Structure 1
């Protein structure tokens, strides 16, 4: 049985999540860009260029090889993905509400569960740095894709608000 992993996701509509990486198809990239713009009250990403800060519905989800996952809840934002490194200090991270995500530190790991569901996913804390490095890699791939398809200005905005180019621990 393979270990669970973490992936960055954008909630594109109620409980439908789009995994983010540089491997998005053209249609998936358009869905990402449209969702990002509309969530921030703009018609398209260029309409975001004058905004001081943009937000991203979604966050990080914990997923098993079987596909079962604990998803970010309402009001969670992908822009806070770096806070997951706080789990190494046994500090909980915000993963939204309705339904919320329960985090319990158990031994040398953390258990994630979604309110109202019996599913529980245990993640060894020793695996977290590598998993977050993979999230960072996925986001760098997304940034490269956006720059190639939409230009440097839109990519710079994405980078500014997700802090993708910043060094990661």
Structure 2
């Protein structure tokens, strides 16, 4: 299980900080192992998804929505790959990492999870097993089944990956955007639905 950010369309004109060449409309894995340019791409994508009213200087204008909005978006979700069958459970359009805690409801058996469309990925608990359906509208029937305890371990690992990314992004921001580093780090943690560390 990996937390992935949907990359969206490439912006050839973006020049506020260095970014990596990422596949348009693909996924960028968020963890503590990203290069500085990949962190720049991730921050660009999350800020772009929350772009709002302008502020006086160019970085602040671009970051304004991310730094000030009450409800933040981070397009993407958790991707699960079955190492045996090769089936890939990927987030669909309109799913966001800000909603990742819904996986906990699935693990608890209190809710079924919907993870976007195209593909229409869904998850539900059946007794001690969680069934991940890759695409509920496809006839392929690709399903990944996990024991509930295994899902909880995967979720803990994915949450740690998100925390590692935010920590890495905070260090990146100290170098790239020192005037906004603290606020940006806090905003990224909110956008990724991370509770404050104890």
- The reply to whether TM is greater than 0.5 is yes
| Alignment partner of 2:95 out of 45, 60, 76 | 76
Structure having the larger proportion of residues in strand: 1
TM-score by length of 2: 0.72
What value does the CA root-mean-square deviation take over the aligned residues? 2.4
Q: Which deviates more, 39-48 or 117-126?
A: 39-48
CA 1:103/1:136 → structure 2, altered by over 3 Å: closer, same or farther? Answer: closer
1:15-164 equivalent positions in 2, closer than 5 A? 15-41=25-51, 46-47=63-64, 48-65=66-83, 68-90=87-109, 91-115=111-135, 116=138, 118=140, 119-150=142-173, 151-164=181-194
Higher-Rg member (1/2): 2
Q: Distance in 1 between matches of 2:162 and 2:188?
A: 10
TM-score by length of 1: 0.83
The runs of at least 4 aligned residues of structure 1 exceeding 6 Å deviation read none
The size of the alignment, in residue pairs, is 163
C-alpha displacement of 1:106:
4.4
Q: Which deviates more, 42-51 or 122-131?
A: 42-51
Structure of higher RCO (CA pairs closer than 8 Å, 6+ residues apart) = 1
Q: Which deviates more, 113-122 or 8-17?
A: 113-122
C-alpha displacement of 1:120:
2.1
